[in-house]
Structure 1
Amino acid sequence: MEYLKYNEYKSNLLSQTRNSVKTLNLLNNSVTFDYLRAAVPEKSIKKARYFIITGNGDSYCSALASRPVFENTDRSNTTGMVPGVATDTPRAIEFSRYYNTYRGWDQTKVAQYMLLAISVGGSTSRLVESIFRMNAIGGQTVAFTQNINSALGKAGNYVVDINTPECDQPAPCVTSYQASLFAADMFGLYVGMVKGFLKEEEADERRNAALEYVNSFGGRVVDGIEKKAFELSCDWLEKGIEIMDFIADGPDYATAFFGSAKMVESFGGLTTIDDTEDWNHINFFNRQPEKSGTFIIANTSSPAFGKSLETIDTITALGRPLVIITDTNEDI
């Protein structure tokens, strides 16, 4: 079978990926801590003791990925963590229709809740409904959107403007996820400052560290990853691999979820997403393992890293085509 050559391949998704470093640096200039102070006053943050972050699709991935920034703030160079604020990440349909429906809300605490609803476009019905619900019970609401005059923007008590470079097509899209995740992460650091878990210079250090990491993927690094991905896609197409599993734990689950979504949106492939434990209970039994492409995210900082290594051994023994995304060396 004849395929496009590497330098001939073009797509909206690829273009956005190549511009990721530029996009995130632009966002850093707009979503500053001073901006967040103006958007959501410190007195409102001090009032909030329970945070709920939700979204749909890519935005839900942003909610999942940003949760650790709210729950814990690392104030040292060790792995020790300092308690942050209680944070939950229900799906939008779950919050809007089911959350606390059976046990009811504690009326002495409802004013201490703050809902963060993420939607770049701002027109997602269940998110608007979620904000209406939180407003109705007496909690606070913040809309994260690029369209501040949207239904979501108008419904929230406060609005964080996600100044995202325009996306040519609604899907597959990368910039909306990058923007919403960056804004949510910076808001989490802002909450940490207001709550007294972080000094402003410490929050700035974390912001700069995030940018340093982002900038490390410029130039030859992203070119190398892109070439590997292109070669892999040609190999899997040749072998007829269009079924893919994505496996990860904790915050990395959000990354796996997002990657899985891009596969579906890009070419309509059949994908699943699971954690390392459940994958070994379910997808382990899939027939034709040689036709099941498998991606696993295994970072050494994860408490589940050991389980990831066990799962890698299992996948290899099954003869599945495997891609390992990790922060350690290739000997894994």
Structure 2
Amino acid sequence: MEYLKYNEYKSNLLSQTRNSVKTLNLLNNSVTFDYLRAAVPEKSIKKARYFIITGNGDSYCSALASRPVFENTDRSSTTGMVPGVATETPRAIEFSRYYNTYRGWDPTRVAQYMLLAISVGGSTSRLVESILRMNAIGGQTVAFTQNINSALGKAGDYVVDINTPECDQPAPCVTSYQASLFAADMFGLYVGMVKGFLKEEEANERRNAALEYVNSFGGRVIDEIEEKTFELSCDWLDKGIEIMDFIADGPDYATAFFGSAKMVESFGGLTTIDDTEDWNHINFFNRQPEKSGTFIIANTSSPAFGKSLETIDTITALGRPLVIITDTNEDIFPKSATVFSLPKPKYSWANALMQHIPMDYVAAYMGIFKGETPYRANSEVFNDMGRRIRASELEIIV
């Protein structure tokens, strides 16, 4: 196959990815701490002791990636004590149909729960169901959505308007993911301030540090990432690589999960997602390793970095095509791997805001090369299944 120059290609997914830095700067201007104070009063935050964050698809990735901000892990000591608020991130159906259904709810604690349900469109049935369940039990609920008049927005006690910037649609969404993640991160800092874990100047310093990290991708940096992913995509297409594994641990798992989702949404790629330990128990045995493209996120800030290095050695020994996304120098990794050595943030939770970009670009280029329609939108069957997500029957379990 003959290829154009990388910057001559156009698609909605490419456009959203190229505008990532601009998107987050716009969000920084709209999702302010003053706005969050007005959206969810401090007295309600003070009342809450247990936070549950949930979503579906990209929104669930936002929930997973924002959890460290609520737990305030950048203040954690070597004792492992968590200085922030108790936070859980169950899947939406896990919360709406199973959470505490066996042991029941402690009546002395119910009012101390706060559920944050993330859905950009605000019409996903399981998220609406989750909020209605928490409402029925007696906890507090906050809807994170760009459609405040949606079913989700109307169901929540409070609404945080994600205020997603305008972007080229339809596409496997990058802009909406960044919007929901940034809003959740800033809400986590707001909670920290109200609870007394952070002074206001400390919260503002963290916000500014995250934005400084985002802006470090500007100019030639993001162009170089795109050019490198273009070359990788051309190589993988020519080699017939369509099966892809995504590997990461902790909050980085959310980024790997998001990257795998973009491959599926963009061109119907066959992907799996696992952590560094379980991958060695299962996908290690896949046949045709030379046809299994493998992405691993290996950050030095991760407690599992050592296990990531072990897994990278194993992947290399198997002869798998390997992509490493990292916050450190590429010299420590095998020469056979394609390494994206990205800027390192002051606070590790900010990695999730930008480390998905190499995978977004690969998804975009593979979709273009294969001539696929994102989301299988040219199929009545797939369009109907999408509607079922929003029309699925609600069942409130108390």
Q: Which residue number corresponds to residue 222 of structure 1?
A: 222
Give the conservation status (yes or no) of the 8 Å contact 2:12–2:170. Answer: no
How far did residue 166 of structure 1 move?
2.9
Alpha-carbon distance in 2 for matches of 1:35, 1:87:
23
Alpha-carbon distance in 1 for matches of 2:74, 2:14:
34
Give the conservation status (yes or no) of the 8 Å contact 2:95–2:130. Answer: yes
* Matches for 1:1-332 after TM superposition, within 5 Å: 1-75=1-75, 83-329=83-329
Which region of structure 1 is more displaced relative to structure 2, 105-114 or 79-88?
79-88
SS of match in other structure, 2:75: coil
In structure 2, the gaps of 5 or more residues are 330-397
Give the conservation status (yes or no) of the 8 Å contact 1:62–1:184. Answer: yes
Give the conservation status (yes or no) of the 8 Å contact 1:73–1:81. Answer: no
How far did residue 226 of structure 1 move?
0.2
Alpha carbons of 1:286 and 1:273: their partners in 2 closer, same or farther (altered >3 Å)?
A: same
Percent of matched pairs sharing the same residue: 96
Give the conservation status (yes or no) of the 8 Å contact 2:53–2:116. Answer: yes
What per-residue deviation string (whole Å, max 9, x for no partner) do you get for residues 128-178 of structure 1? 000000000000000000000000000000000011013443541101100
Which region of structure 1 is more displaced relative to structure 2, 162-171 or 280-289?
162-171
Give the conservation status (yes or no) of the 8 Å contact 1:75–1:198. Answer: no
SS of match in other structure, 1:82: coil
SS of match in other structure, 1:328: coil
Alpha-carbon distance in 2 for matches of 1:125, 1:191:
27
Which region of structure 1 is more displaced relative to structure 2, 34-43 or 74-83?
74-83
Give the conservation status (yes or no) of the 8 Å contact 2:122–2:150. Answer: yes
How far did residue 219 of structure 1 move?
1.0
What per-residue deviation string (whole Å, max 9, x for no partner) do you get for residues 197-229 of structure 1? 000000000000000000000110000000000
Give the conservation status (yes or no) of the 8 Å contact 1:144–1:160. Answer: yes
Alpha carbons of 1:77 and 1:223: their partners in 2 closer, same or farther (altered >3 Å)?
A: farther
How far did residue 282 of structure 1 move?
0.3
Give the conservation status (yes or no) of the 8 Å contact 2:120–2:145. Answer: yes
SS of match in other structure, 1:296: strand
SS of match in other structure, 2:265: helix
Give the conservation status (yes or no) of the 8 Å contact 1:72–1:81. Answer: no
- Across the aligned residues of Structure 1 and Structure 2, the Cα RMSD in angstroms comes to 3.2
Which region of structure 1 is more displaced relative to structure 2, 47-56 or 8-17?
8-17
What per-residue deviation string (whole Å, max 9, x for no partner) do you get for residues 46-74 of structure 1? 00000000000100000000001111253
SS of match in other structure, 1:114: strand
Alpha carbons of 1:224 and 1:78: their partners in 2 closer, same or farther (altered >3 Å)?
A: farther
Alpha carbons of 1:74 and 1:81: their partners in 2 closer, same or farther (altered >3 Å)?
A: farther
In structure 1, the gaps of 5 or more residues are none
Alpha-carbon distance in 2 for matches of 1:168, 1:104:
45
Give the conservation status (yes or no) of the 8 Å contact 1:75–1:81. Answer: no
Alpha carbons of 1:81 and 1:208: their partners in 2 closer, same or farther (altered >3 Å)?
A: farther
Alpha carbons of 1:20 and 1:136: their partners in 2 closer, same or farther (altered >3 Å)?
A: same
How far did residue 78 of structure 1 move?
9.8
How far did residue 9 of structure 1 move?
1.1
Alpha carbons of 1:77 and 1:14: their partners in 2 closer, same or farther (altered >3 Å)?
A: farther
Alpha-carbon distance in 1 for matches of 2:89, 2:3:
42
Alpha-carbon distance in 2 for matches of 1:316, 1:139:
49
Name the structure, 1 or 2, with higher relative contact order (CA <8 Å, separation 6+). 2
Alpha carbons of 1:280 and 1:134: their partners in 2 closer, same or farther (altered >3 Å)?
A: same
SS of match in other structure, 2:170: coil
Alpha-carbon distance in 2 for matches of 1:128, 1:76:
34
Give the conservation status (yes or no) of the 8 Å contact 1:73–1:197. Answer: no
How far did residue 83 of structure 1 move?
1.2
Alpha-carbon distance in 1 for matches of 2:77, 2:211:
18
How far did residue 6 of structure 1 move?
1.4
How far did residue 8 of structure 1 move?
2.1
How far did residue 3 of structure 1 move?
2.9
Alpha carbons of 1:266 and 1:97: their partners in 2 closer, same or farther (altered >3 Å)?
A: same
TM normalised by structure 2 equals 0.81
How far did residue 4 of structure 1 move?
3.5
Alpha carbons of 1:106 and 1:283: their partners in 2 closer, same or farther (altered >3 Å)?
A: same
How far did residue 87 of structure 1 move?
0.5
Give the conservation status (yes or no) of the 8 Å contact 1:167–1:173. Answer: no
Alpha carbons of 1:79 and 1:241: their partners in 2 closer, same or farther (altered >3 Å)?
A: farther
Alpha-carbon distance in 1 for matches of 2:10, 2:79:
42
Give the conservation status (yes or no) of the 8 Å contact 2:15–2:168. Answer: no
What per-residue deviation string (whole Å, max 9, x for no partner) do you get for residues 254-306 of structure 1? 00000000011111110000000000000000000000000000000100000
Give the conservation status (yes or no) of the 8 Å contact 2:12–2:171. Answer: no
Give the conservation status (yes or no) of the 8 Å contact 2:75–2:83. Answer: no
How far did residue 80 of structure 1 move?
8.1
SS of match in other structure, 1:79: coil
